[in-house]
Amino acid sequence: MNELHHWHPVLLSKFLKQKPVGIQLCGQEIALFRTKNGEIGAIEDSCPHRRMRLSNGWVEGNKLVCPYHGWNYEIDGTGHSCSTPNLRPCAKSFDVVEKYGLIWVKATGSQAQFPNIDFPDYHLVCALEHHVHVPLELLVDTNSEIEHAALGHTFFGHALSQVSEVEVKFDFSDPEVTRLAEKMPQKPLPGILEKLFSVNGSDRFFDKIEIRFSPVYKTSQLYWENEQTGQRRKEQLRSVYFFTPVNERETKWISLYYITAPRWGIFLFNLLQKPILTAIMNHEGNREKHVLEALADKRVELDGMCLGRLDQAIVENRQRIQRIYRGHKQGVAKAMAIS
């Protein structure tokens, strides 16, 4: 399966402690475990002996113990049988790395490049997980257009009455990346948020987006400008969204949020800005999850859809998902477009 050849973030590091954790990646069930010396193992979540879930077991020293008969496995999948010492069972293993506060997994031996999401001028605000019951393509679709922000976002983006003022520049010149530059009026914000993030209700909101496909993820640079002067506000945000397929019907959405150097210092940032911004981003993520899971038709085919002027990236992204991420050569059927 070509999808497993890419590095995928599958779990926030803070969730992998002494107890093993079972995850699913592209339909493959995997047991993650942290050894006594801090190394991380990722092996198929099925004991080769009698197919017990290894994630239901425990770690002893540097080995994962099966809860059924006590057979145990090292991080490379090498197994040991208590009853038959000469037997050498082997569980399928995966490459695993811990970076950016995330656990990453890919098929052993693949040569996929690791995503670079270093932002030296920004401070990490939070890392969030949302499990969305829609296929990968549908989650990428909603993150490729801003029209849904009017009703799908509480805080960021335009109001419904302002949708005609939304401007988007599309750049599909790079066959590996899709780029969007979005500009729109900022919908009214609560006064406390305007003060915390130096935003005025009449500001223009900008979102510069890049979507890559090995793995499938989106980076955004978000900022506001004074409508009268064109001056950019000091507070700027960055977000990184990883779209990790659980299986054909579900997707794990892992998001990282960053902010420029806090103007009130690190103490007030940690005390006030950070928890408020974390709550806002989690709220917005839950809103989008709710909207997507309410879709009447969760098929990924575009046939018959009527796409508007703000949906242009959807077809381009589908083609790149097929070619780069899935390794398929065939194209994607285009929807009926509205100019």
The single residue listed with the structure tokens 């050569």 is: 329
Same domain for 208 and 100: no
* CATH code where residue 255 lies: 3.90.380.10
Residues 228-270: tens digit of each pLDDT = 888 998 889 999 999 999 999 999 999 999 999 777 788 888 8
Q: Which of 48, 72, 107 is the last residue of a domain?
A: 107
133 close to 250: Cβ distance less than 8 angstroms: yes
Same domain for 270 and 204: yes
Answer yes or no: is 112 within a domain: no
Nearest CA among 180, 182, 186 for reference residue 150: 186
What is the per-residue pLDDT for 268? 81
Same domain for 172 and 309: yes
Is the pLDDT at 336 greater than 70? The verdict is: no
Measured CA to CA in angstroms, residue 44 lies from 18, 227, 270 at distances of 18, 54, 39
Answer yes or no: is 114 within a domain: no
Beta bridge partners of 210: 179, 219
Report the pLDDT averaged over residues 299-304: 92
Answer yes or no: is 117 within a domain: no
What is the per-residue pLDDT for 313? 96
Same domain for 280 and 132: yes
What is the per-residue pLDDT for 330? 64
Is the pLDDT at 333 greater than 60? The verdict is: no
Is the pLDDT at 321 greater than 70? The verdict is: yes
Answer yes or no: is 135 within a domain: yes
Q: Which of 83, 107, 131 is the last residue of a domain?
A: 107
Q: Which of 16-25, 81-90, 191-200 bottoms out in mean pLDDT, i.e. has the lowest?
A: 191-200
Burial class for 55, CB neighbours closer than 10 Å (0-12, 13-18, 19+): buried
Same domain for 211 and 152: yes
Q: Which of 107, 135, 150 is the last residue of a domain?
A: 107
- Helices and strands (H and E) in the chain: how many: 6, 19
What is the per-residue pLDDT for 294? 97
Dist. CA 228–CA 30, nearest whole Å: 54
Residues 150-206: tens digit of each pLDDT = 888 988 888 888 999 999 999 999 999 999 999 999 998 888 888 877 888 789 999
What is the per-residue pLDDT for 76? 96
Same domain for 126 and 89: no
- Could you tell me the residue range of the domain that residue 13 belongs to? 2-107
146 close to 313: Cβ distance less than 8 angstroms: no
Percent of the chain with pLDDT over 90: 76
Report the pLDDT averaged over residues 319-324: 96
Answer yes or no: is 170 within a domain: yes
Nearest CA among 15, 54, 29, 22 for reference residue 247: 29
Residue 332 confidence class, pLDDT cut points 50, 70, 90: low
Which ranges constitute the DSSP H helices of the chain? 136-142, 149-152, 191-196, 265-268, 274-293, 312-320
Answer yes or no: is 11 within a domain: yes
Answer yes or no: is 287 within a domain: yes
Answer yes or no: is 80 within a domain: yes
Number of domains in the chain: 2
Same domain for 227 and 186: yes
Residues 203-234: tens digit of each pLDDT = 999 999 999 999 999 999 999 998 888 899 88
Same domain for 288 and 157: yes
What is the per-residue pLDDT for 272? 85
Q: Helix, strand or coil for residue 172?
A: coil
Same domain for 242 and 131: yes
Same domain for 296 and 153: yes
Same domain for 324 and 178: yes
Same domain for 194 and 330: yes
* CATH code where residue 53 lies: 2.102.10.10
Report the pLDDT averaged over residues 123-139: 97
